[in-house]
Structure 1
C-alpha cells in the first residue's frame, strides 16, 4: 500500500474490500473466491488527510467516507466519480447509512451526529443531534426499529428513537471510560459495547426504558428552598449562605447537597452506576426495585447496592484483566449540563 491503512470495509456479496489510507485515498480490491488473491480495481482520491471511515453501499453502488479534513464524501463505485461532499463542524469519526430513506448519519469529534439526505449528486441537511459532551466514537443503525445508537468519549451511549418521531433519546451509562466501539445484533435485539475501561457490556433492547429528564433551572433548591450561591437577593433576605446546585438524575430537579445526599443505580434510565438522586426519588427507586424483585422472585436488594450486572436492562458485563488503570425533523435533542 502507498500509505498506512486507517480503516476498511468488506462486502461479502461482491467480495469487495475498500481500504482507507492515511494519505486520504481509498483503495478498492476484489478478493478471489478462495480469498487467496486480491485484485486492485480502483483508487478514489476522497480526502486531503487520513480517511477515518469507509462504507460501501451495494444497493446504491456508492462509496461513502469520512476524513480528518472534516469532509464527508460519496463516490459512484461504478465510475469512480465523486458525486458530492459535505463539510462537518469537526473531524468526522464514524458513519451509518439507511438504504430505504437514503439518510446518512455522521458522528464527529464535537459530539454531534449530523443527518443528511443523499441524492445522486447532492445532499441536504435534515437535522443535527446534540446529546454528547465529547466526541462520537461509534455509530450503529437498526433499520427495523429505526433506532440510532451513538457511543462517545463521554462514557455514554445514546439511543435516538428516530422511528418513534417523538424526539426521544435514551441514555445508557455502563462504562467508566470512553466508548471504543458498539455493535448491534439484530436477531436478538442486543447492543454490545466495549470501552477503554476494558469492559464489554451486552444491553437488552427489549426492555422498556424511561427517558432521562431535562435538568430544571432554579435559583434555589426545589426541595427546601435554600438559595444557591449566585442568588444574592434571597441570601440577603433570608440571611443564609448560598449553596452549590446539584441535579437529581431521576426527576431533574435542582437541589442542594443536603436534599440529594444519596445515590443509586437507575437501570430503567440506563444508569448502571450510582448517580445522585434527591431523597424522595431515592425512596421511590428502592420501593420500585423491591416490588420488581418480589414479582420476579429474586431476593430484594436496595437498588443502590445492586451491581450493574444484576439489573434487568444490562445482561452481561465483563471486564478483562488487561484493562487500563488509572419528524419534527426529530426535534433538536439535547441533554443539558454536565454532572456535578
Structure 2
C-alpha cells in the first residue's frame, strides 16, 4: 500500500518519506492527522480512507469507507475527530472517527449545494460547516440541527474558501479571478469588498489571522499577497511557477510561504524581507521612451509617416514601451519576478547583480499536485494529485529547527532547576 523512502531529511529541500498508493481515481484531498502517523484521504473513486503508519514504516488503511458519489473536498477537525466530506452531487457528509482511528461512524448529511462541492471549513465555536460549490454559492449550515442558515450566490463557480473564525469573515475565490470578502451572520451575510488582480481563476487561498494577510494562487501561475490588515491596498506579486498554483500554506513563525503547482513544482518563498509592489501598467498612445506611436495611434502615424508599433510594458517601472526600447530581460525577485521578464533598457541598467539573487527555493514533487496540506509543528507535508498517489514529505525549516532547539533548552533548564530545588 505504501513504500517508505527516507526516514530523516539531510538538507533543506523536501525529502520524500512515503508514497501511499491504492486509490483507483484522482485523490481530491489528503490531510495529515496531528500528533499521529496517519493520513486521511478522499478520492474521486468514492472512498474515504484513513492510513496509519505501521511498524514496517508503511501506511496501511485502517478505515475504508465507500461513498455514494465521488469525493471532491474534505476537512478534518482533530480535537473533535470530525470529518466533513464534500461530494460531486453537492452533499456534505459528516463522520466521527474513533480514538484509535480504526472506526468511523456516520453522523449526518448536509444538503449544502446543487452541484460539486469545491471547499469546506468547520467552525467549532459556532458549530457551522461552511462550504463553496460549483453551483456558484457559499453556504453555511448548523451542525447541531443540520439546517441551512444562509446562502450567497456569485456570478462564477466558487472554487476555494478561507474563513476567519474570530470575525466570521469568509474569503471566496471564484473562476472569474475574483476574491469576495463576506461577513457571515446567523441567517444573512454582507459583501465587504471584492479583490481583483489575477488574470485566471482562483485555485487556492490561505488566510493568516495573526498578520491579517491573504494569499491567493491562480491558474495564471501567480500568487498575490493581499495586506488586509494594513488597510492600504498593498499587494505583492509572486511569479515563479510554470503551471497553475494548486495549494499554498503560509508559515507565520518563519515568514515563509509554501506553494505547489499542477506540474509538481514546490516553491518556498521568503516573506521575511521588505518586498516591493509591482507597478500598475501605464497606458499611452506612444512609447514613453522613444515616443514612437503605437499601431492604434492613427493620427501620429499619419503625421510622422511611420508605422505603428506594438505596445509592451516594463515590469519594473510599468511604463508603456515599444519592443525596441524593451529588448532586455531580467529577473527581479524583490518584486516577485523569479523568472526573466521584460524590462525597459533604462530599468535593465539599474538592476544590479545582487538584485537578481533569488528570494525563493524551488523543488520538484515529481507528480501532478492537486492538493497539499502541512503539519508545521512536525515539518511534514502531504501532497496528492491526478496520478492517484499520495506523497508524505519531511520539510526542514531552519528557523523552526532553531526554535525547537531553543524550546528544548528552556524545558531542560527548567526541569533541571526544578529537580535541583
Q: Identify whether the pair has TM-score above 0.5, normalized to the shorter chain.
A: yes
CA shift for structure 1 position 320: 4.4
Instruction: Report which of the two has the higher share of strand.
Output: 2
> Any idea what the Cα deviations from partners look like across 1:300-339, whole Å, max 9, x if unmatched?
xxx3xxxxxx51x21x211245569xxxxxxxxxxxxxxx
Query: How many residue pairs are counted as aligned between the two chains?
Result: 303
Q: Which residue of 2 aligns with 1:43?
A: 109
Secondary structure of the corresponding residue to residue 133 of structure 1: coil
Q: Which residue of 2 aligns with 1:174?
A: 240
Within 5 A, what are the aligned runs for 1:313-332? 313-314=359-360, 316-322=361-367
Q: Which residue of 2 aligns with 1:125?
A: 191
Q: Which residue of 1 aligns with 2:253?
A: 187
CA distance in 1, matches of 2:265, 2:102: 35
The answer (yes or no) to whether the contact 2:284–2:320 under 8 Å persists in 1 is yes
CA distance in 1, matches of 2:366, 2:81: 36
Secondary structure of the corresponding residue to residue 351 of structure 2: helix
Secondary structure of the corresponding residue to residue 342 of structure 2: strand
The answer (yes or no) to whether the contact 2:263–2:367 under 8 Å persists in 1 is no
CA distance in 2, matches of 1:58, 1:68: 25
Secondary structure of the corresponding residue to residue 288 of structure 2: coil
Q: TM-score, normalised by structure 2?
A: 0.70
CA distance in 1, matches of 2:368, 2:330: 25
Give the 4+ runs in structure 1 shifted more than 6 A: none
Say if 2:171 is the partner of 1:105: yes
CA distance in 2, matches of 1:108, 1:217: 28
The answer (yes or no) to whether the contact 2:123–2:129 under 8 Å persists in 1 is yes
Q: Which runs of 5+ in 2 are unaligned?
A: 1-66, 370-421
Q: Which residue of 1 aligns with 2:37?
A: none
CA distance in 2, matches of 1:67, 1:231: 45
Q: Which residue of 2 aligns with 1:338?
A: none
CA distance in 1, matches of 2:257, 2:151: 31
CA distance in 2, matches of 1:157, 1:99: 24
Say if 2:140 is the partner of 1:95: no
Higher relative contact order (CA 8 A, sep 6+): 2
Q: TM-score, normalised by structure 1?
A: 0.87
Q: Which runs of 5+ in 1 are unaligned?
A: 293-302, 304-309, 325-340
Secondary structure of the corresponding residue to residue 48 of structure 1: coil
Say if 2:281 is the partner of 1:197: no
Secondary structure of the corresponding residue to residue 192 of structure 2: strand
Select the residue among 129, 132, 149 that pairs with 1:83: 149
Q: Which residue of 1 aligns with 2:395?
A: none
Within 5 A, what are the aligned runs for 1:1-340? 1-286=67-352, 289-290=353-354, 303=356, 310-311=357-358, 313-314=359-360, 316-322=361-367
CA distance in 2, matches of 1:320, 1:190: 18
Secondary structure of the corresponding residue to residue 315 of structure 2: coil
CA distance in 2, matches of 1:214, 1:240: 29
CA distance in 2, matches of 1:63, 1:323: 29
Secondary structure of the corresponding residue to residue 259 of structure 1: helix
CA shift for structure 1 position 197: 2.6
